[in-house]
Amino acid sequence: MKNEIELLLTALFEDTVKETVESITPLSAHGSNRNYFRIKSKSLQLIGAHNADYKENKAFITLGKHFKNKNLPVPRFYADDLSHDIYLHEDLGDQTLYEFLLKENRSAYFSEKVMTLYKDVLTLLPKFQIEGAQGLDFPVCYPRESFDKQSMMWDLNYFKYYFLKFSNIPFNEQDLENDFHRFTDYLLTAKQDFFLYRDFQSRNIMIYHNKPFFIDFQGGRRGALPYDVASLLYDAKADLPEPVRSELLDFYIRQLNQYNIINKEQFMHHYYGYVFLRIMQAFGAYGFRGYYEKKEHFLKSIPFAVKNLKYLLNTVNLAVKIPALYKTWENITELETDS
């Protein structure tokens, strides 16, 4: 028997498609509070979604239609009923870039198929960031118009209270707060006039007919270029080998060079700062979803993130002095984790 959400989605589908729904099947939402369903009629298959957050729905649909109008690879939107918090969009199948990576890459080398797909993704990313930003209605972005100091401080406090506290990592509250402000001030000296996807990682990229398509951009807003490529290349469980990260970063920068908006030196001045910021956001998510919500699969990502942090601490010198924050990072690398 269908529940209320399934009945609403069925009615929206049938009113839009003019065909009877033959099946509606719940799908996993992973770390999201949204509810997803695969809805099939005789000739069409769509994804139905329910999300109680009206502003987030509005942002997702507005951004999706904007990107589609620019011929960027996102799902086509068919219909919405935001008075009931539901919408319908194109079904891009079940295979994410992460799942493709797991299937292709369980040997000692990084396969050419996977490398080609990552390069396809990184060819498209600047189009979203630069061309996608043109004419975009940034005030509709959620929860803020830009990835500004407030947004960054939210992520840093997420890291502090849901990861450092739950992991019993010692820190001086005032010293850490001072470093948070110094760190965000440094990051915000990067040019901020681009579309920032916000959660640009391998589970939010679908592989459909052997091509990448992009989903879950509802948190996107105005921001700096380095954050999204940092999110993709330091996606913890994807566990990209460091030589692969380096090759893909160089490839991405060559794609950026075609736009003549930033040189490599300017980009790299901020890049690793955004890598650290993204890793802290991820630690916060693992703490909240894993320690607090008791979702074990999030805890399994922690050893991969710790491995990335160890590498960065041994190889990167940031252009900002943040000793209290560095100390917390060093303490994290001493955690006992199952790798």
Which long-range contacts (C-beta less than 8 Å, at least 24 apart) are formed by 284-288?
Answer: 284/155, 284/158, 284/159, 284/160, 284/161, 284/162, 284/163, 285/31, 285/158, 285/162, 286/163, 287/159, 287/162, 287/163, 287/165, 287/166, 287/167, 288/158, 288/162
CA distances from 197 to 45, 218, 269 (A): 27, 8, 21
pLDDT for residue 339 is more than 50: no
pLDDT tens-digit map of 227-275 = 999 999 999 989 999 999 999 999 999 999 999 999 999 999 999 999 9
pLDDT tens-digit map of 174-204 = 999 999 999 999 999 999 999 999 999 999 9
Residues 6+ apart with CB under 8 A from 264: 253, 257
pLDDT tens-digit map of 262-306 = 999 999 999 999 999 999 999 999 999 999 999 888 999 999 999
Q: What is the pLDDT of residue 218?
A: 96
Give the residue carrying structure tokens 């992520």.
155
Residue % of the chain over a pLDDT of 70: 97
- With respect to CATH, is domain 97-333 assigned 3.90.1200.10? yes
Residue range(s) in the chain whose domain bears CATH number 3.90.1200.10: 97-333
pLDDT tens-digit map of 7-16 = 999 999 999 9
Global pTM value: 0.95
Q: What is the pLDDT of residue 297?
A: 87
CA distances from 91 to 20, 34, 102, 227, 295 (A): 17, 16, 22, 28, 27
Residues 6+ apart with CB under 8 A from 69: none
- With respect to CATH, is domain 4-90 assigned 3.30.70.380? no
pLDDT tens-digit map of 71-120 = 999 999 999 999 999 999 999 999 999 999 988 866 556 889 999 999 99
What's the one-letter identity of residue 74?
V
CA distance 218 to 64: 9
